[in-house]
Amino acid sequence: MIRIKAFHHLKSLFIVSIILFFGTLLFAQEQGRPLVLQEMSWADVRDYLKTNDMVIIPIGSTEQHGPHLPLGTDYYESAGISKLISARTGVVMAPVLLAGYSEYHSGFPGTLSLKLETMEQVLFETAEMLIKYGFRRFMFFNYHGGNRIAESKVIHRINHTTEAIAVPIGFGSPIQKGRYQGKDEVGDEHAGIGETSLMLYLKPELVKMERAEKPKVIYNEKLQALWMLSQQYPDLLMVFNSLRAVPVETKKGGASHELFSNGIWSLSDPKKATKERGEKQVKGMTDYAVKFIEAWKKVKE
Ligand SMILES: [Zn+2]
């Protein structure tokens, strides 16, 4: 009798341990650890593909972000938010590029840049490899305006020449409603309050706030005239914008160092950046992407 009792006791202990073990696994999954392709083994990828064909590819840049933010800011933003999305959805994220199209920032040292065609080709060839293994749903999380054309081209190429589907989910994507610009953030486009806040939240150890300074705007006469006129004829902003963010060789006066003294593109003071603002935006962008992915998961391929 005693032996049987002990056996039953052992049996329930065993069952409890099993429940605890899988419970912990489940909990770990819910808490979410990101799935990063480079951290997985081929066996992990094989197992993943049995139940999921989605992949998130972050696209950023290595380019100047003022004297106070690291050159990799756009990469940390795109990969950082992609990781959070991965942790919450269980979708693999696969970084394939560290540089983007940033030629117009090259007046500041350290900026790297790829030609649009090179960028498109690298993204497409790496996507082709992933397609070969069974990935079919691609989401590009871009966080650099200069990459938009290359991103659109690669998305079009995947959609029109392969079995896979590709969509944008990063900054500027239709799923990211609004521009996350606060009331007192005027013309805050690059390395200003917005991006400094993001980095204070995502990578605070790389932010040198003591160097954050409102830039001097040094637009040439033509740009200044266009800006003034565009207040009266807003359609002229199209011309104004096409003269900016272009390489110095075009002689349009629209390279980064020809527009703003320290590489920060903002009419506001970047010192107003806060970690809380960064957290709010990261959370907002992550929420929209998670909602989108969960909806897309409902469509069985
Ligand atoms: Zn940036």
For 224-248, what is the mean pLDDT? 96
Tokens of residue 294, six digits: 């969960």
Alpha carbon of 241 to ligand 1 centroid (Å): 17
User: 198 and 144, same structural domain?
Assistant: yes
Q: Residue 17's pLDDT is what?
A: 56
Strand pairing class (137-142; 92-93): unpaired
What rounded mean pLDDT belongs to the chain?
Answer: 92
Angle between helical axes of 275-297 and 73-89 (0-180°, round to 10): 50
Task: Indicate if 101 and 243 belong to the same structural domain.
Answer: no
Q: How many whole angstroms from 19 Cα to the centroid of ligand 1? A: 46
Query: 86 CA to middle of ligand 1, Å?
Result: 21
Task: Look up the domain containing 197 and give its range.
Answer: 32-215+272-297
Ligand 1 centroid to 260 CA: how many Å? 15
For 39, other C-beta atoms within 10 Å of its C-beta total 10
pLDDT value at 13 more than 60: no
Give the model confidence (pLDDT) of 58-80 as tens digits: 999 999 999 999 999 999 999 99
CA of 148 relative to ligand 1 center, distance in Å = 13
Tell me the pLDDT band of 11, cut-offs 50, 70 and 90.
low
Same domain, 118 and 240: no
Using 50, 70 and 90 to split pLDDT, how confident is the model at 221?
A: very high
Q: Taking 50 as the threshold, does the pLDDT of residue 160 lie above it?
A: yes
- Same structural domain, 187 and 247: no
Of 143, 149, 146, 141, the C-alpha closest to 168 is 141
Rounded to the nearest angstrom, the distance between the alpha carbon of 282 and the centre of ligand 1 is: 14
C-alpha 163 – ligand 1 centre gap (Å): 32
Least confident of 1-5, 218-222, 225-229, 273-277: 1-5
**In this structure, what CATH number is given to the domain that contains residue 184?**
3.40.50.10310
pLDDT band for position 164 (50/70/90)?
A: very high
- Please give the distance, rounded to the nearest whole angstrom, from the Cα atom of residue 69 to the centre of ligand 1: 9
Ligand 1 center–CA 87 separation, angstroms = 23
The reply to whether 108 and 160 lie within a common domain is yes
For 99-137, the pLDDT digits (tens) are 999 999 999 999 999 999 999 999 999 999 999 999 999
Q: What's the gap in Å between 74 CA and the centre of ligand 1? A: 4
Task: Report the number of distinct structural domains present in the chain.
Answer: 2
Same domain, 56 and 140: yes
Is residue 134 a part of any domain in this protein? yes
